[in-house]
Each structure stands twice: as structure tokens, then as C-alpha cells.
């Protein structure tokens, strides 16, 4: 795994995957018995106040993760004759009303990481890794092989310092044990779906002579760019400020 660039790996049993919102794994891959969860340390880009630099680091890491996800699943199918499926890290998403327009993932990487013994929950409602803290992303491959699962990580990693809660500019962590997703999205993704709908509503209400000014504004250009990038985060405080890990 280290040859691929993976920082840590854990094995979890599908039966131990407990995500109350995401679909059951049986609906995705009925034969799946095991989860191979890979951990990747987030780069220090997340500390930058230049949000383009911060997001660039996340995009670089996502490229590596997607490659590892595919390569592992491909290896299992080609070399081990074992049916395997990669799981999505971001897009495509279920954009239906029932899935809260993409807020409910088809597969929860954090819940898989917990089931694979790679950490436990922090006050920021992120999966904390014993070495990397909150600065970690996970990618999972499902397979039909019955692999020996790793034991759960029982040590409480969260320091209960509330640095993440107090440092959340969107006040999305004010209620203990819950992330207010709409507060988070409004602050961390200011050029997401909501902003897009708001812009076009204002555009259609504006006088025609205002249209050119609106289309050439920095607001529209940022909206245009986000359509190509996808999840364009402007805030990484919940992970960058967490003191857990190296």
C-alpha cells in the first residue's frame, strides 16, 4: 500500500458498517463482506488563508485517492479473482430531494474508517486518525472476500478542547454531536448550488442593461469556475485547527 502512496489501511467487516443516513451496502454490492479502507494525510495546504491554494491541495490529494481506489479494486479483480468495487469520494452524488440534494452520500467513508479501526469521532464530527488527527481523508474498496477485520480503535482521540467548535466561522458545530450542514455549506461552499440559484434569480429580475455587468462580475466567474471544480471549499478550519495528531 505504501507503494501506492497510502498512509494507513484498515480492514472492516461490512456487517460493522453503521451509517444511519447512507444506503445499506447490500443495495450497492450484495456480495460484499469486507471493506478495505485507505487513509491519506491531508497536505498542509489546508492551513493556507489563500483558499485557492488550500483547495488545490485537496484536489491533488483527491486525484491520488481516486487512482489508489481504482488500482486496488482492479488488483483484487485481476490478481485475486475477487469481485471488488470502488466507492465514490465525491461526485457523482444522489441529487434527489430524498438525499438532500447531494448531502447524503451513497457511501460514508468516515463510517467505514471507524468500522475498520482507523480512529473514532471528534467534536468536529470528523473521523479522527490516531496519527493524522482530522487531517485525513479515506477511500474504501468493497470486496466479496471474507477478510479478518481490524479491531475497533477504543482510545478517545478527541481532546474535547472545542477548538474546532469555536473556530467554525459558520457556527455549524454549535449543537454538540451535530453538524448543521446548511450553515456549513453556506460558509464553506459560497459558490455552490444555493449561490447559483440565487444569482440566476437576481439575473432574471435585473434589467437587460445590467446583464453584461453581472455576467462579467467576479461573483459569476467564481460560480462558473465552481461548476468545473465541483466541491470548491473555502474553509478547512474544522480539520486545520484540530490539535490531534502530528
The per-residue pLDDT for range 156-186, each reduced to its tens digit, is 999 999 999 999 999 999 998 899 998 998 8
How confident is the model over 203-234, as pLDDT tens digits?
999 999 999 999 999 999 999 999 888 878 99
How confident is the model over 4-35, as pLDDT tens digits?
899 999 999 999 999 999 999 999 999 999 99
Phi and psi torsions of 82, nearest 5°: -120, 125
The rounded distance, in Å, linking the Cα atoms of 213 and 8 is 50
**How far, rounded to the nearest angstrom, does the alpha carbon of residue 89 sit from its chain's CA centroid?**
6
117 vs 230, residue with greater confidence? 117
Q: Nearest CA to 225 among 213, 234, 238?
A: 234
Predicted confidence band of residue 2 (pLDDT cuts 50, 70, 90): low
Q: Nearest CA to 139 among 122, 123, 118, 164?
A: 118
Region 45-49: what's the mean pLDDT?
95
Contact 99, 88 (CB under 8 A): no
User: What pLDDT sits at residue 231?
Assistant: 79
Contact 48, 184 (CB under 8 A): no
User: What pLDDT sits at residue 229?
Assistant: 87
For the chain, percent of residues with pLDDT exceeding 70? 99
pLDDT reading at 97 higher than 80: yes
Region 102-130: what's the mean pLDDT?
95
- 3-state SS class at 38: strand
Which residues contact residue 52 at a Cβ distance below 8 angstroms, ignoring those fewer than 6 apart? Answer: none
pLDDT reading at 153 higher than 90: yes
Predicted confidence band of residue 143 (pLDDT cuts 50, 70, 90): very high
Enclosing H/E stretch for 115: helix 109-115
pTM of the model: 0.93
Enclosing H/E stretch for 156: none
Amino acid at each position: 500500500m505504501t507503494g501506492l502512496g497510502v498512509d494507513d489501511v484498515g480492514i472492516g467487516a461490512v456487517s460493522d458498517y453503521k451509517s444511519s443516513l447512507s444506503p445499506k451496502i447490500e443495495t450497492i454490492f450484495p456480495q460484499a463482506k469486507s471493506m478495505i479502507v485507505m487513509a491519506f494525510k491531508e497536505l498542509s495546504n489546508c492551513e493556507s488563508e489563500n483558499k485557492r491554494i488550500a483547495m488545490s491541495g485537496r484536489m491533488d490529494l483527491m486525484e491520488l485517492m481516486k487512482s489508489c481506489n481504482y488500482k486496488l479494486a482492479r488488483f483484487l479483480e485481476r490478481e485475486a479473482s475477487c469481485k471488488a468495487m470502488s466507492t465514490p469520494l465525491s461526485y457523482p452524488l444522489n441529487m434527489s430531494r430524498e438525499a438532500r440534494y447531494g448531502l447524503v452520500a451513497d457511501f460514508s467513508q468516515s463510517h467505514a474508517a471507524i468500522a475498520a479501526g482507523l480512529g473514532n469521532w471528534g467534536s468536529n464530527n470528523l473521523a479522527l486518525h490516531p496519527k493524522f488527527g482530522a487531517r485525513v481523508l479515506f477511500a474504501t474498496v468493497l470486496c466479496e472476500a471474507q477478510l479478518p477485520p481490524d479491531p475497533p480503535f477504543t482510545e478517545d482521540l478527541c481532546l474535547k478542547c472545542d477548538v474546532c467548535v469555536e473556530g467554525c466561522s459558520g457556527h455549524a458545530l454549535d449543537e454538540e454531536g451535530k453538524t448543521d450542514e446548511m450553515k456549513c455549506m453556506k460558509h464553506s461552499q459560497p459558490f455552490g448550488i444555493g449561490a447559483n440559484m440565487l444569482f440566476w434569480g437576481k439575473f432574471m429580475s435585473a434589467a437587460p442593461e445590467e446583464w453584461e455587468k453581472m455576467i462579467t462580475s467576479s461573483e459569476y466567474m467564481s460560480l462558473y469556475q465552481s461548476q468545473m471544480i465541483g466541491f470548491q471549499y473555502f474553509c478547512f478550519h474544522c480539520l486545520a485547527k484540530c490539535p490531534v495528531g502530528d
